[in-house]
Structure 1
Amino acid sequence: MTTILLTGSTGLVGSRLLPRLVAAGHDCRALVRRDTELPDGVTAVRGDLDEPASLRAAVEGVDAVVHLAALFRTTDEAAIWQANLDGTRHLLEAVSTHAPGARVVMASTGNVYDATAIRPSREDDACSPGAAYPASKVAAETLLRESGLTWSILRLPFVYGEGDGHLASISALAPRFGLHPAHTYSVAHHRDVAGLVHLALSGVTDGRIVNLTDDAPVTVWEMARLGGGDPVDGSAAPLENPWSGRMDGSLARELGFRPEVPTIHAAAAAGIL
């Protein structure tokens, strides 16, 4: 049995990943700042990534750490950097000191890639993040890669499914962030986030950055429609760069990953949006 610490366990991704880790037979700990409801079989460990001294009890004795905790949808850039870079630094220092043999799997984002890309972005492409959230994730990736620990980095796309509300938010997010209705984005279902995390925990992705995508990108217009929100205005100016937001998922498939939910339309047909 593998003992795993999960950060970000109450978030959109973590709350759906945690019960799947338990179901797979792992002994799971969840880092929490306050009392919260967790799946049966999960040990809550009180701690805060902003408080390094609180992390020793969380990491001692673990075989792996799955680091999902992140801050992004806020205009407070200082808070973003504190959570995503400083928080990661504190966690890695705790693992290095108290569980140096543990494998660290960190979630990052496809937003780190250059928005002027001329094809779907690959893991070895240069990163050119234009905002605090992806910039802080690139910096956190560097910390992990240089930590001396056993690591892998999973760059996630737009994640959806299981009634998480993410698709339903597109109608509001599109005008806020200037998302073109015809723009296609790489996406993945929560089931496939879990699938790639399971692969990473096996050691297959050690020392690698790996993109996660399903088999077909989807337009902002389609996401809004599938999410049941207000229609996204389709009269926008011509699309500047159709490749921005697209990731190449070839490496994951070479390593053995196969999406359980191949497309968002398959998810709709199965009733698992």
Structure 2
Amino acid sequence: MPTLLVTGVTGLVGSRLLPRLIAAGHDCRALVRGDNTAPDGATAVRGDLNDPSTLPAAVEGVDAVVHLAALFRTDDEDAIWRANLDGTRNLLDAVASHAPDARVVMASTGNVYNHDQARPGLESDSCNPSAAYPASKVAAEALVRESGLTWSVLRLPFVYGDGDGHLASMGALAGRFGLHPAHTYSVAHHRDVAAAVLLALGGQLDGRIANVTDDAPVTVFEMARLGGSPIDGSAEPLTNPWAGRMDSSFLRSLGFRPSVATVWEAAAAGIL
């Protein structure tokens, strides 16, 4: 049974992914801080990505690391860089020293693509975001690529499902960030994020970056309505209409097909 270390297990993605990794037959260690407990079926290992001395014991003997931990939606840019870049560096150093044969799967974000792109983002595109969160993830991706370890990076879209409340937050997010109701975003259900992670753990994505999306982007207006927090529409022209959109052709070329093809199917199945 492969042994995994998973970071970010209490987050929106991690809390839904970990049970699926366990169900797939992985022996999962959950990196937790303080007195936090591990989710059912996982083993808690005490550690903090900002404290390098706590990480060797966490990674010792693992077959793979699934690195989900990240900080965003805060105005503290220094904290974002410490968590997303320095934390990743500390984790990679520990893996290189104590589990050099382990596979590293890092979760990144579709927000790394430039907002003024002329089409959906491709993995080969140059990414020069200005905001701290995507910029820190681009820098962390570079650390992973240059680590000398066996690695893959999954760029995730707007992830939803399993009652995580993400869609329900769209009404508030639209107001906070001034999102145009007609703007579209690539999305994916937690089930398909898990499928992509399992593909990466199987080695099919070694040395590659892969976009993860379902079959159809969704407007801010539709997401807010589906989440129960409807917003007003607008006929004003869109600026940067391709921002937030990703092309997942590469992952599909490997046989990946989303089991939840669209958010509308998720709504019909009662798995939002």
- Please state which band the TM-score falls in when normalised by the shorter chain: over 0.9
Give the aligned partner of residue 104 of structure 1: 104
- Secondary structure, aligned partner of 1:83: helix
- How far apart are the structure 2 equivalents of 1:36 and 1:246? 36
Matched ranges for 1:117-266 at <5 A: 117-229=117-229, 231-235=230-234, 237-266=236-265
What is the aligned-residue RMSD (CA, Å)? Answer: 0.9
- Secondary structure, aligned partner of 2:55: helix
Give the aligned partner of residue 34 of structure 2: 34
Give the aligned partner of residue 5 of structure 2: 5
- How far apart are the structure 2 equivalents of 1:29 and 1:35? 15
Give the aligned partner of residue 58 of structure 1: 58
Deviation string, structure 1 residues 138-188 (Cα, Å, up to 9, x no partner): 000000000000000000000000110100000000011111100010000
For 1:156, give the aligned amino acid: L
Count matched residues: 272
- How far apart are the structure 1 equivalents of 2:14 and 2:37? 13
Percent identity reads: 76
Structure 1 portions without partners, runs of 5+: none
- How far apart are the structure 2 equivalents of 1:136 and 1:225? 31
Contact 1:115 1:128 survives alignment (8 Å): no
- Structure 1 residue runs of 4 or more that deviate by more than 2 Å after TM superposition: 34-41
Give the aligned partner of residue 78 of structure 1: 78
- How far apart are the structure 1 equivalents of 2:267 and 2:155? 24
Structure 2 portions without partners, runs of 5+: none
- How far apart are the structure 1 equivalents of 2:239 and 2:73? 24
Contact 2:3 2:63 survives alignment (8 Å): yes
For 1:233, give the aligned amino acid: D
Contact 2:37 2:44 survives alignment (8 Å): no
Cα displacement (A) at 1:40: 2.8
- Secondary structure, aligned partner of 2:95: helix
Contact 1:29 1:43 survives alignment (8 Å): yes
Deviation string, structure 1 residues 216-253 (Cα, Å, up to 9, x no partner): 00000000000001x22213631112211110010011
Which is further off, 26-35 or 75-84?
26-35
